[in-house]
Amino acid sequence: MALLSLMLAHFIADFYLQKDRMVNNKEKYLRLHMMHHVICLLIALLFIWGRNYQYQGVFKHVFFPLIIILMTHYLIDLMKIKMGKSQRVKDFLGSYHDLKLFLFDQILHIIVLMITCHLFFNLPFHLVFENVITSFQTGVSLSLTNNLLFLAVIIIAATSISGHIIAKMLGNPLINITTFEGKITFKSESLDDRSGKLPELARGVNEEYHYLLLNNRYNRGRTIGYIERLLVLILTYYSAYPAIAFIITAKSIARFKQMEDRDFAEYFLLGTLLSMLFGISLGLVVRMVLR
């Protein structure tokens, strides 16, 4: 319960409270980001303290864990910022270096949370893995509190976390594609033939200018992705696999005209397949744990 509570607090502060402008300029907004973690972690620690320890030992179960988690989180984020700016690190990591840094960052944060639970909440490391394995065994069910915490973590994983991973795998063009509103084409004669003396070949030459119309105020593509993965998760939980095909068909019809653009079609296909992969995988996990 303690680990799930701390993970939920971490994910809420790292994904739901951290806006795009903070992600794009994390060094500038790092202090604000840490304040989000202070609030979320404090609520989680107070919940654990009251439920498991009846408000006894505030320093051991609230103050010290809060300080350690915040200090290590700050150092990990600072290290990630420095590594993200280093060309040597980018060359070493190769392709998808942003995704690798992101996964490395999240793994370190979760390890810190596990160490904190081990030190201050009497949760041995081997017990964490045993509980994970036990949760997938037939006939074993979690408590109501753990079920709710688990579902909350899964929902964040199906929306924001998987969305971040997909965005980093697709690259920057995803920003334009998900906010694509349309395309305008202007044609103009490259040569002025008022005299009528130019050769017919020259008079037939046109120049075309293409402009993308983008909606920067509200990213509807991201919201569609969130809802899509949640629907796929629910349908997988109930083994309603044919309905998943209907979602893919509906998306394809909505983007039918844009499929003529090969670049868009490839990004759309990759994004949809990744979204389906996350939705189905998480749905299977939920079905195995919450029987």
> Are 280 and 145 members of one domain?
yes
- Mean pLDDT to the nearest integer, 240-254: 83
Range of the domain at 119: 2-135
> Are 200 and 251 members of one domain?
no
d(CA 171, CA 175): 8
pLDDT at 211 over 60: no
Least confident of 45-49, 129-133, 178-182: 178-182
Structurally, the chain folds into a number of domains equal to 3
Buried b (16+ CB within 10 A) or exposed e, 152-191: bbbbbbbbbbbbbbbbbebeeebbebbbbeeeeeeeeeee
Position 17 scores a pLDDT of 86
| pLDDT-derived band at 90, boundaries 50, 70, 90 | confident
pLDDT at 133 over 70: no
The more confidently predicted of residues 169 and 195 is: 169
> Are 45 and 149 members of one domain?
no
> Are 200 and 161 members of one domain?
no
d(CA 118, CA 84): 31
For the stretch 61-74, pLDDT in tens is 999 999 999 999 99
Residue whose structure tokens are 């996990």: 285
Position 19 scores a pLDDT of 80
The more confidently predicted of residues 208 and 273 is: 273
| pLDDT-derived band at 217, boundaries 50, 70, 90 | very low
> Are 171 and 253 members of one domain?
yes
Mean residue pLDDT of the chain comes to 79
Position 123 scores a pLDDT of 78
Angle at CA 19, nearest 5°, toward 13 and 24? Answer: 115
> Are 172 and 191 members of one domain?
no
> Are 195 and 237 members of one domain?
no
pLDDT at 273 over 70: yes
Position 141 scores a pLDDT of 64
The more confidently predicted of residues 144 and 61 is: 61
- Mean pLDDT to the nearest integer, 113-132: 78
> In DSSP terms, which residues pair with 211 in a beta bridge?
184
> Are 82 and 105 members of one domain?
yes
Position 235 scores a pLDDT of 92
Pick from 80, 104, 135: which residue ends a domain?
Answer: 135
The more confidently predicted of residues 129 and 288 is: 288
pLDDT at 145 over 90: no
> Are 58 and 107 members of one domain?
yes
The more confidently predicted of residues 251 and 13 is: 13
> Are 76 and 163 members of one domain?
no
The more confidently predicted of residues 87 and 200 is: 87
| pLDDT-derived band at 179, boundaries 50, 70, 90 | very low
> Are 74 and 209 members of one domain?
no
The more confidently predicted of residues 204 and 128 is: 128
Position 202 scores a pLDDT of 47
Q: What percent of the chain has pLDDT over 70?
A: 76
> Are 109 and 197 members of one domain?
no
d(CA 252, CA 21): 31
The more confidently predicted of residues 39 and 24 is: 39
The more confidently predicted of residues 166 and 291 is: 166
